[in-house]
Amino acid sequence: MKRILSVALAVIWCCGIGWSQEKAEVNTVQPTIMVIPYVKEGQDIRTIIESDFNMRVAITKVKEAFDSRGFTTYDFTTKLKMALRDDALEIDQKTDLKKMVINLSGADIYVEVDTDVPHSTSGKLVRLNLTANDAFTGQALSNVIGESGRFYTDDIGKLTEKAVEDCIEKFLNTMNEKFGDIVENGRSIRLKIGFDENSEYDMDSEIGSDGDLVADLLEDWIEENSYKNYYHMQGISSSTMIVDDFRIPIKDENGRNFKARKISRKLRKYITDVLNMEVKPGVRSEGEIKFIIQ
């Protein structure tokens, strides 16, 4: 009886260690952060950062809050200068510097900072709106508003620091929880596969010696290649298949950020080499992959 009990306890202990190691592995993938100014559509991000002193102070204070908690952060101004120095940068590309800087940074998450400094006879107040987004899909991870309280002072930096302190813990807790879910269950991207109007095929076409439908073969591929076989099919018609939640891992086998274009390349080869269909990429981003079968 004692021997049986000892073996049982050993099994429970080993299983507990395995579970702890798995959880520890998930939690040790800490995201890298870049703090950037919030810009409205059509605004020049360079003008915002150069002309708005309060914004520069806010970005610095939020970055310091991440640094003090052990996060690896990238300096937005440095990355912006790198983008502007890039000789390959075309003039018309400069209108989307925000996206370019985010891609150049290599950060896992970018945190947008919006500031408001309303004045009144009862003193000054700094109000911050912080939003964390997954840098690869744009998925929102956390959003909070922090306020400094009103004081009779011209020290905007101190007020900004108080506003950061007012909301940073709640912001970080939500961000870490959402990012932890991404690490464990994969990033969510969108797949859309359609047929050219002149194509001889559609989703209901039978191909191969087994008479499988194109839609069935594509869904088999999607299930096999989604991270942990997790995907959600939004809908299938004779001309279009939409997967609104296709999971990819956050890291590849070498520990580098997994790019959606790897899945895009693999799916393109499957369609051309296995299904023997001509295909051309549609609009593609890190958060969405589109294909049009000819």
- CATH numbers and ranges of domains, the chain: 33-184 (3.40.50.10610), 186-293 (3.30.1360)
Q: Grade residue 86 by pLDDT with cuts at 50, 70 and 90.
A: low
pLDDT of residue 211: 86
**Whole-number pLDDT of residue 281:** 75
Confidence at residue 284, expressed as pLDDT on a 0 to 100 scale: 61
Token pair 């298949």: residue: 241
Beta strands in the chain (DSSP E): 33-37, 73-74, 109-116, 119-120, 123-124, 127-134, 140-147, 187-195, 206-207, 212-213, 231-236, 240-248, 279-281, 288-293
Give the C-alpha separation, 175 to 97, whole Å. Answer: 25
- pLDDT-based confidence at residue 286 (cuts at 50, 70, 90): low
Q: How far apart are the first and last CA of the chain?
A: 70
Q: Which residues pair with 127 in a beta bridge?
A: 116, 147
pLDDT at 12 over 50: no
**The pLDDT value given to residue 116:** 92
Q: What is the pLDDT of residue 22?
A: 37
pTM of the predicted structure, to 2 decimals: 0.77
- Quote the pLDDT of residue 14: 41
Confidence band of 145 (pLDDT split at 50, 70, 90): very high
pLDDT tens digits along 158-203:
999 999 999 999 999 999 999 999 999 999 999 999 999 999 999 9
Q: Which of 3-7, 31-35, 65-69, 282-286 has the lowest mean pLDDT?
A: 3-7
- Position 193 scores a pLDDT of 96
pLDDT band at 282 (very low <50, low <70, confident <90, very high): low
The lowest-confidence range among 16-30, 142-156, 239-253 is 16-30
Structure tokens at 63: 């970055």
Closest CA to 260 of 233, 225, 211, 294: 225
Query: Cβ neighbours of residue 45 under 8 Å, at least 6 residues apart?
Result: 36, 37, 39, 80, 97, 98, 101
pLDDT above 70 for 117? yes
Backbone angles phi, psi at 245, to 5 degrees: -150, 90
pLDDT for the residue numbered 147: 96
Q: What is the pLDDT of residue 11?
A: 39
Mean pLDDT of the chain: 85
Query: Once rounded to an integer, what is the mean pLDDT over residues 235-249?
Result: 95
Largest CA distance in the chain: 81
Rounded-to-integer distance, Cα 134 and Cα 75, Å: 17
Question: How sure is the predictor about 16, in pLDDT bands with cuts at 50, 70 and 90?
Answer: very low
Of 100, 142, 250, 235, nearest in space to 189 by CA: 250
Residue 285 — pLDDT band, cuts 50, 70, 90? low
